[in-house]
């Protein structure tokens, strides 16, 4: 067998590096252009459902044009009535992916910092996203009451209960807010798993890479516990354990 010189992989990597940068610039441009077009439509559309549909179409087009095919499993697990979807968080792309795969009746609960990001904050507000502040206890309580009112009116919500993501694979601890909302609203929790986005765009990299993405919805979880606080804790622990089992990544609950 002919031995491959050690220099060849290095040469191949050096040759691929400019192509990765070129692709990354292209993909970033696609996301920005389609986001601006979607924002222009969203500013003009009169109903929330139409605005969310426009955002969904833009998200799907962005992923398609940038070579990030999304494989969807378990869509039948999503109830036709109200529910709360909770998922692991791996990348800034996660919100775009869930916008692409979920029906327009779903709204997102995101950290308060996103409200101050130029254009992104405006877009998120126009599609009915709820902002929560975890750094200020009084503000956090006020935000939780507002989100509960939204849920009490029958709206379905999406949470990333880790609140952030790490560059290395693994599942961080879950905040209780999503599960308290579901318990108070009396609706099921639908755990979900997203794979591939950390490879495509980790937090340590500015430009994305192409690659497949998988979203899987698991069996809905309900509770018979009548105590609100205990019910929220039970829903949180059962949902996290279910996601951890199916995700197959390390438990990073002590990392944050």
Q: How far apart are the C-alpha atoms of 177 and 112, rounded to whole Å?
A: 14
Answer yes or no: is pLDDT of 2 > 60: no
Assigned domain for 1 exists = no
Give me the mean pLDDT over the 1-14 stretch.
Answer: 53
Give me the mean pLDDT over the 81-99 stretch.
Answer: 95
Answer yes or no: is pLDDT of 8 > 60: no
Q: How far apart are the C-alpha atoms of 60 and 240, rounded to whole Å?
A: 28
What is the structure's pLDDT at 62?
97
Q: How far apart are the C-alpha atoms of 199 and 69, rounded to whole Å?
A: 13
What share of residues in the chain are helix, strand, coil (percent, to 5)?
50, 15, 35
User: Which range of residues forms the domain containing residue 231?
Assistant: 7-252
Q: What is the CATH number of the domain that holds 156?
A: 3.40.1130
Assigned domain for 64 exists = yes
Buried residues in 5-30 as b, exposed as e (16+ CB within 10 A): eeeeeeeeeeeeeeeeeebbebbeeb
95: tokens are 């919100």
The pLDDT > 90 percentage for the chain reads: 60
Map residue 179 onto helix, strand or coil.
helix
Assigned domain for 2 exists = no
- pTM (2 d.p.): 0.87
CA dihedral 176, 178, 184, 190 (to 10 degrees): -120
Which among 54, 69, 65 is positioned nearest to 30, based on CA atoms? 65
- Across the strands, what pairs with 194? 215
235-245, pLDDT tens digit by residue? 999 999 999 99
Cα–Cα distance list, 37 to 26, 55, 104, 129, 225 (Å): 16, 10, 18, 19, 46
**pLDDT band (50, 70, 90) for residue 255:** low
Assigned domain for 46 exists = yes
Assigned domain for 80 exists = yes
Q: Per the structure, how many domains does the chain have? A: 1
**pLDDT band (50, 70, 90) for residue 111:** confident
Assigned domain for 84 exists = yes
87: tokens are 């998922």
16-49, pLDDT tens digit by residue? 778 889 999 999 999 999 999 999 999 999 999 9
What is the structure's pLDDT at 204?
86
């Amino acid at each position: 067998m002919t031995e491959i010189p050690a220099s060849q992989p290095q040469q191949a990597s050096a040759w691929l590096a400019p192509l990765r940068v070129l692709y990354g610039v292209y993909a970033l441009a696609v996301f920005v252009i389609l986001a601006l077009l979607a924002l222009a439509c969203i500013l003009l559309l009169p109903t929330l459902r139409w605005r969310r549909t426009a955002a969904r179409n833009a998200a799907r087009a962005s992923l398609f044009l940038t070579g990030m095919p999304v494989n969807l499993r378990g869509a039948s697990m999503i109830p036709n009535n109200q529910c709360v979807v909770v998922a692991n968080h791996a990348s800034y792309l996660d919100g775009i992916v869930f916008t692409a795969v979920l029906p327009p009746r779903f709204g997102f609960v995101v950290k308060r910092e996103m409200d101050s990001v130029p254009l992104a904050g405006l877009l998120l507000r126009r599609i009915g996203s709820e902002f929560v502040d975890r750094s200020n206890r009084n503000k956090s309580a006020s935000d939780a009451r507002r989100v509960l009112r939204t849920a009490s009116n029958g709206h379905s919500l999406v949470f990333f209960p880790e609140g952030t993501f790490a560059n290395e694979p693994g599942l961080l601890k879950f905040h209780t807010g999503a599960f308290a909302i579901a318990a108070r609203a009396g609706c099921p929790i639908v755990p979900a798993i997203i794979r591939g986005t950390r490879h495509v765009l980790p937090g340590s990299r500015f430009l994305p890479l192409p690659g497949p993405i998988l979203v899987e919805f698991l069996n809905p979880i309900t509770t018979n516990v009548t105590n609100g606080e205990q019910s929220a804790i039970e829903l949180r622990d059962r949902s996290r354990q279910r996601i951890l089992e199916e995700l197959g990544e390390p438990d990073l609950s002590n990392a944050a």
